[in-house]
Structure 1
Amino acid sequence: MKISIITATWNSEASIADTQRSLAEQEFPRDRIEWIVVDGASTDRTVETIKAGDFQPDKLVSEKDNGIYDALNKGVRMATGDFVGFLHADDFLASPGVLNRISCALENSGADALYGDLQYVRPQADGGFGVVRHWESGIYHRRSLARGWMPPHPTLYLKREIYERTKLETGEFFNTAYTCAADYDFMMRILGKYEVEPAYLRMVLVKMRVGGVSNRSLKHIIQKSREDWEIIRKNQIGGIHTLAWKNLGKLMQFVVRKP
């Protein structure tokens, strides 16, 4: 099994080395990893930092784009792996065994998709990372979509053929009309309309630095809620209670913390 991992970067000099290092530390065979970096014409030393690292991208493009979802669309088009996942520039794989566990779980289950758990972390003075939120996804049930449930998108690994089968009329996989919720729209589409049945791997797959696009400010939180509500209505899954539970469900992530 070959796994394509797409990383979108833009002025990510401060964090990309950790992302790159987590890939270099994987116990999964290097020739079964395809790392694709789509850079939005960074003005800092993001590209230079990547080129200086031990784990080099199989494909790297650096050019102006129309935001993160445009970059992810580009990455999916370039992917050749059996499965496709994303590792954003503020994220890193939680342990060296992550890709091995993902591969084994996919092969054993025969599933077309897989997701796991995610932790939001904050850098600490000692050089490590402290857990701020722990997102324990739980087992997927289609009825849970109407209750605001959704797997963490950075932990989702999907068979590449599904992207082609579920893409929009525009040819996009992620709708670039959305600024911060196109991943939610994409997952509602594949889980709802196309009824993809993902397997659940109960382990932390990804650690994400706090301050991502969808939660960096009150303005972004409000914008994301507006986009989420439009997506809920468009996909005809749930109602206003779906949006409420989607947001309230995050509170438990601050209470339940695991190493």
Structure 2
Amino acid sequence: MNLNYLLYEQNNKIGIVSLNRPEKRNALSRGLLEELAELLTEIGTEKKVNVIIVKGIGKVFSAGHDLKEVYECEPQELLQLFQTCYYTMRVIREMPQPVIAQVHGVATAAGCQLVAACDLAVASEDALFGTPGVKIGLFCSTPAVFLSRNIGRKKAMEMLLTGDFMSARDALLYGLVNKVVASGELEEVTQNMAATIAGYSASAIAVGKRAFYQQINMEDFQALNYASEVITLNSTTKDAREGISAFLKKRQPKWSD
């Protein structure tokens, strides 16, 4: 597909998607979101890679929605913009590959939402996260959804009500990111995390990702019952049989994909 707002490259089994609107601080316009959803859907369907990294070109990860676009939209157009964002976040959730956010600079509003929606996140030590919409009379209601499911109610409300930035260290403490590293190490550490995941069975990862999000809001034993069914079916797959056999014979497994 032709890309106007993104860059895409494949490094072995790792796919790297770069937000490429540095002149707009990688603002998530409707065009960019549509392109991102289409690209991720294609990657998920083709299954040429086992893991995805999403990062930003330029000085920041993403400053959120394009406010000029928001300001100029009629109400129905604005709803379509936010529904496009909804759809893009859903693609990230439902695609079989794990998605890792590689965050530098700032990730604000919908940019922070994108980080929270990804399965994993690695941030540089100088990265900042925020939902500052309250400062301009536009409460960050949509970013609040994934933010509150990452960091907990009280801290999420503090960010949403004050508009203050959260440091990378606090983002690690409260669970918004998985790792915080020196700026010069950000790409290497993210690539290493991706390479580790990419080395496992893609089918097992896909089963695990889907099951994780299915069970997370269930009651404990409802979740355990569901997970028991999933792992039973998983254990019968070619890759699971190969992995167990390799373990018992003390050799490296050879995955089918």
TM-score normalised according to structure 1 size? 0.25
Q: Larger C-alpha radius of gyration, 1 or 2?
A: 2
User: Which is strand-richer, 1 or 2?
Assistant: 1
User: Which is helix-richer, 1 or 2?
Assistant: 2
